Structure 1
């Protein structure tokens, strides 16, 4: 690995943590491992007796060299992230931040720490999954970090019983983050990936939008650039109107999942809630 990349990544991670007012460090102490598991359970709220991950397993991950970190603010653990080695490089399996610390760029600090950690170990690719219906996560992953969707995974985890995922099928987007690529380097410098598109017309078409009543409306697929909208607040919609939330799940699976299955590339996500697909580019495998 080019030492310049490693040094620059470490400096960027340090700046991000300082800006967020947190420290990010690997966990090994059994008490900290126990606290990390407890924090994950408070965030996801699984059924009693069915923890998200056991302290024993998390300690094995940490001891065997996987990426297990805690985030601390003012001496209190406010975030946890777990990643492990995979075929592509490092797979970031779970990351959680306590509600009191959200909206303060803590997640960004964790990802830059993860990038620096990986590059220091000659790992140049990180993968992870996220729910493609959650707009803030789509923007964070695709725009702020510059990760690239590589696969649409329908109902990937099957039925889950924690309070965050209960009652909804677990579709996920698998993304790849090429750590020395231009988008990741730009992200580390604080420059998000901005995608632009033409006004819908002959070459730019809307494949999925919202009707006036909030229901999904499937549109055209015949342009060079295809726009796919998702709701701004799907999590609130799941609480207030679960059937409508499921409609959006199936519509997004059909449209975005279908376009990706055909090999088309998702080039980014806009601040106002659109996936942008360029049918002239092939999806990254």
Structure 2
């Protein structure tokens, strides 16, 4: 990561105004009112900022949630200024948020992301070692920003069990022994998920599920194919999650136009029972 970037907790009105300006730069959409973020940080919420030469270039924002008698931190937003992406700042912000959450007594963080965005998936599952067994159809409705426009806003809701040894351990598996859900390539070389029956995989202990490497580019060049990926993976992930699987990491490939989600039976993982449905 850029060694000149510093991370700190944001708590003042002035700092949260800087977050608003960065929100506008990243999403060009409505921003969270300062009275809301300020109230959140005074009541168990956490806002972390990344600064380069006293300029805010990234932030994460989370607020308290509550389920099944236990609190958790809902890590709602993470934004990074365009010129600072791809430098490890997102991972740095998440880890700073984790440390602050542990100090406040949380043991679970949760957030959502588009399961077809492979870069976000790699950060969330492979680097941070969050897991996912909750699929939310059209989570935010019809979104108009440049990243999300044109498709249902389906999301993975991940769980990051920050107090378990699982997130600090190295995880290796003999991938050659794990079945892969097949895909084909179209005439112009783009990947397309094959027609499969999800129930044919329910008896497996692990499974590899492909998603496109370059989904944003596919949305521009082949929107009908992008929608095909959305609908087929929706059906597949929903069925697998309901039958005991959890997504645990992303497996990168060489020259294939896809990466793979590694799914395992959740009862094999040293984490708590599935909290979200």
TM-score by length of 1: 0.81
Decide whether the 8 Å contact of 2:132 with 2:156 is kept in 1.
yes
Decide whether the 8 Å contact of 1:156 with 1:172 is kept in 2.
yes
Which one is further off, 209-218 or 95-104? 209-218
Decide whether the 8 Å contact of 2:60 with 2:94 is kept in 1.
no
Decide whether the 8 Å contact of 1:210 with 1:229 is kept in 2.
no
Deviations 1:23-69 (A, max 9, x none): 222223323212211211211122xxxx1312232222233341112
Task: List gaps (5 residues or longer) in structure 1.
Answer: 1-15
Determine the structure 2 residue equivalent to 1:131.
114
Task: List gaps (5 residues or longer) in structure 2.
Answer: 254-258
Mapping of residues 225-264 of structure 1, within 5 Å: 225-264=206-245
Determine the structure 1 residue equivalent to 2:195.
218
CA distance in 1, matches of 2:225, 2:36: 38
- Cα deviation for residue 212 of structure 1 reads 4.1
- Cα deviation for residue 160 of structure 1 reads 1.6
Mapping of residues 135-284 of structure 1, within 5 Å: 135-186=118-169, 193-199=171-177, 204-213=178-187, 214=190, 215-219=192-196, 221-222=200-201, 224=204, 225-272=206-253, 273-279=259-265, 281=267, 284=273
CA distance in 1, matches of 2:81, 2:219: 21
TM-score by length of 2: 0.84
CA distance in 2, matches of 1:280, 1:163: 34
Q: Secondary structure at the match of 1:86?
A: strand
Decide whether the 8 Å contact of 1:126 with 1:177 is kept in 2.
yes
Quickly say closer, same or farther: Cα 1:67–1:237, change in 2 above 3 A: same
2:42 matched to 1:63? Answer: yes
Q: Secondary structure at the match of 2:147?
A: coil
Determine the structure 1 residue equivalent to 2:87.
104
Decide whether the 8 Å contact of 1:23 with 1:71 is kept in 2.
yes
Determine the structure 2 residue equivalent to 1:54.
33
CA distance in 2, matches of 1:78, 1:210: 40
Q: Secondary structure at the match of 1:161?
A: coil
CA distance in 2, matches of 1:133, 1:206: 17
CA distance in 2, matches of 1:195, 1:114: 29
Quickly say closer, same or farther: Cα 1:114–1:182, change in 2 above 3 A: same
CA distance in 1, matches of 2:268, 2:241: 9
CA distance in 1, matches of 2:90, 2:17: 21
Decide whether the 8 Å contact of 2:59 with 2:80 is kept in 1.
yes
Partner residue of 2:104 out of 117, 121, 131: 121
Deviations 1:55-109 (A, max 9, x none): 2322222333411122101111101111011125111011111111111111111
Determine the structure 1 residue equivalent to 2:64.
85
CA distance in 2, matches of 1:154, 1:20: 39
Decide whether the 8 Å contact of 1:20 with 1:104 is kept in 2.
no
Q: Secondary structure at the match of 1:25?
A: strand
Decide whether the 8 Å contact of 2:133 with 2:245 is kept in 1.
no
- How many residues of Structure 1 are paired with residues of Structure 2 in the alignment? 255
Decide whether the 8 Å contact of 1:149 with 1:176 is kept in 2.
yes
CA distance in 1, matches of 2:179, 2:196: 8
